[in-house]
Amino acid sequence: MTNKNKKHIVIATTIIILVVALLIYRYYIPDMKPKKQLTPASVEYTYDDSVTSSQLAEYNARQDWQLTLVNNDTPICENCSVILTALDNGQAVDCRIYPQLQKMFDDARSQGIYPTITSSFRTAEDQQDILESKYEHYQKIGYSDKKAKAYAEEWVAMPGTSEHELGLCVDIASGDSRVTNQEVWDWLAKNSYKYGFIERYTAEKQDITGIIPEEWHYRYVGEKAAKEMYENDLCLEEYLQNMS
């Protein structure tokens, strides 16, 4: 066999191997992209300026709404609905937490701390978009599909398991160059419980919540519960377990 023939055989073999590899990848390796996992029935939402006073009164009278648990093991229930208050910066929160949220921000500003809300209520579709965006980010910086998926799901909750879909939590950062994010978060860590909010995901409770630390994520649970959680170093899961 001549060297020329050997070269042709090597090239042909290489092409066949590449084609087979592509076919295996295309048809047999599962897509690692985060799967869409919406709630059985997506959260229905409306705004407080589009409901009647009786509807609003009925909504406000619901019991223990502020202690609703949503996490990887406890997805949002079917037929969940929320009435939102629209904020000036385009964000929105459950109308029942707005008064205390505004009071907390007003008091912070009076003390030289200037917080702003960077994320609040999200639809399940919003949550899915954020998850896929995070996945694509990790892909672009060189992670394999498997690792990109794992890291994305470590940072972003699957649709149907995020508190943002309830409108009961907010992500907070500095809204003024005079203060840093860390200064805002330090103030919130010491004072938010006075207004019914808790730092939801801390490093100390990661094994329980299943979520990496998020100094910016604050959840409304009511003043009584927030005070007890703060004083006894409890996360929401522990607090509810103690109640049962």
Catalytically annotated residue among 132, 183, 214, 228 = 214
Burial class (CB in 10 A: 0-12, 13-18, 19+), 228: middle
Which range is most confident: 12-26, 144-158, 197-211? 197-211
Q: Are 192 and 170 in contact (CB under 8 A)?
A: no
Q: What are phi and psi of 91, to 5 degrees?
A: -85, 175
Q: Which two tokens stand for residue 9?
A: 């055989």
Structure tokens at 61: 């009278």
Eight-state DSSP code of residue 74: B
Cα(152)–Cα(131) distance, rounded to whole angstroms?
6
pTM, entire model:
0.81
The CA distance from 101 to 115, in Å, is 11
Phi, psi of 171 (to 5 degrees): -100, 130
Per-residue model confidence as pLDDT tens digits over 181-219: 999 999 999 999 999 999 999 999 999 999 999 999 999
Please report, for residues 52, 61, 103, 111, 221, the alpha-carbon distance to residue 64 in angstroms, rounded to integers and kept in the order given.
Answer: 22, 9, 21, 32, 9
Residue 237 appears among annotated catalytic residues? no
pLDDT band, very low/low/confident/very high, at 165 (cuts 50, 70, 90): very high
Residue 15 pLDDT more than 70?
Answer: no
Instruction: Let me know: does 81 contact 44? Beta carbons within 8 Å.
Output: yes
Length of the chain: 244
Question: How do 92-94 and 81-86 pair as beta strands?
Answer: antiparallel
- Count the alpha carbons within 13 Å of 198 in the hemisphere toward its beta carbon: 25
The pLDDT confidence band at residue 27, using thresholds 50, 70 and 90, is very low
